[in-house]
Chain A
């Protein structure tokens, strides 16, 4: 790993922490404020790619584990890793990796804006929502013994908000690709 990769990982981890510190943001057309931090998985994968994106999340989780309140709402500490939602935390790493992997395959600089946007959206949906929910619900099902299916049904309520976040993350990732492309130079 080059020093530049190390720095990009740390800077992106700082961005993820920052997204948890700022107050929730309201969108013009929807009255409910959204927490920005949960977009981080999609942003990390789409902007700095699979390996660096996943490592940025490893770093954030490490910081959380050693007692820094790096998650939104000032949450942190080992307790989160011991709770029933720990699977989602593991899902962030895998989700950022899968998002990045798909973005690296689906998007390149020569494509039209439309195709880039579509590529980022697919990557965000599969990696940022699909993989994160899979990990989260597998753990939840294991902890509770209620079965994977029922766990999934329980988390459906969060899907609309996450689709919206995937949309915002897609547009942001595409704008960053235009302004300062990092994805093509894989780690």
Chain B
């Protein structure tokens, strides 16, 4: 459950520092919006496709991960074709697909902890301004990962209680007790965090 989309591997792209990958993506996403020449967009798309497919993902998985977005792009491209003509539609498709493939490649080659380290660095300026604490982000992230399975267990229990009492399973009667039970834990969890001295004020 909630397994990272990272794929074990040792390709050059795996070894590239996270910061370089993210800056590349950001630069590409800005730059490509100023380009509508297919002579540039098609080779860019082919390059990112090769990059993505060379990462060692099984084919099914590789297509499964981007299938939903590719579908959304296809719909949007059809609309663009209808309103703005074929060239615009093709440019949009190759531009967005190139970005999506590059982004998916970064996701597949970067571990959660590498991302977290980078986020902590990026948040340093905010921390220095006193707006937030970088350590809070990893604490919050840990809490989510810790409590999602707990909520799923509770959901199963509530469903069983419904069945035992012969009640039909409805979103309201499921979600309301679940949300209340989950949020009620907040007080004791917060107290425990303070008691263990995680957040030095």
Contact = CB atoms under 8 A, between A and B. Distances in A.
Chains A and B touch (C-beta atoms under 8 A apart): yes
Interface in B64-101: 65-66, 68-69, 72-73, 76, 79-80, 83-84, 88, 92, 96, 99-101
B6 to A, nearest CB: 6
- The size class of the interface chain B forms with chain A is 35 or more
B193 A3 contact: yes
Contacts of B168: 28
A84 B69 CA distance: 8
B129 interface: no
A159 interface: no
B91 to A, nearest CB: 10
Contact of B137 (A62, A84, A145, A150): A62
If over half of B's interface residues share one DSSP class (helix, strand or loop), that class is named, otherwise mixed; here it is helix
Given A6-B139, A66-B116, A180 B107 contact: no
A1 to B, nearest CB: 8
Given A68-B5, A79-B66, A14 B144 contact: yes
Contact of B68 (A73, A78, A168): A73
Contacts of B116: 66
Nearest to A168: B171
Interface residues of A, number: 63
B96 A14 contact: no
Nearest to B184: A180
A80 B69 contact: yes
B183 to A, nearest CB: 6
Interface string B176-200: 1011101111110110011000010
A77 B183 contact: no
A110 interface: no
Contacts of A82: 25, 29, 96, 99-100, 102-103
Nearest to A12: B183
Given A21-B1, A172-B179, A66 B115 contact: yes
B69 to A, nearest CB: 4
B143 interface: yes
A50 to B, nearest CB: 16
Interface in A99-119: none
B101 to A, nearest CB: 8
Contacts of A134: none
Given A36-B171, A47-B179, A69-B5, 9 more contacts: A3-B199, A34-B171, A66-B112, A67-B110, A69-B2, A78-B103, A85-B72, A143-B96, A176-B176
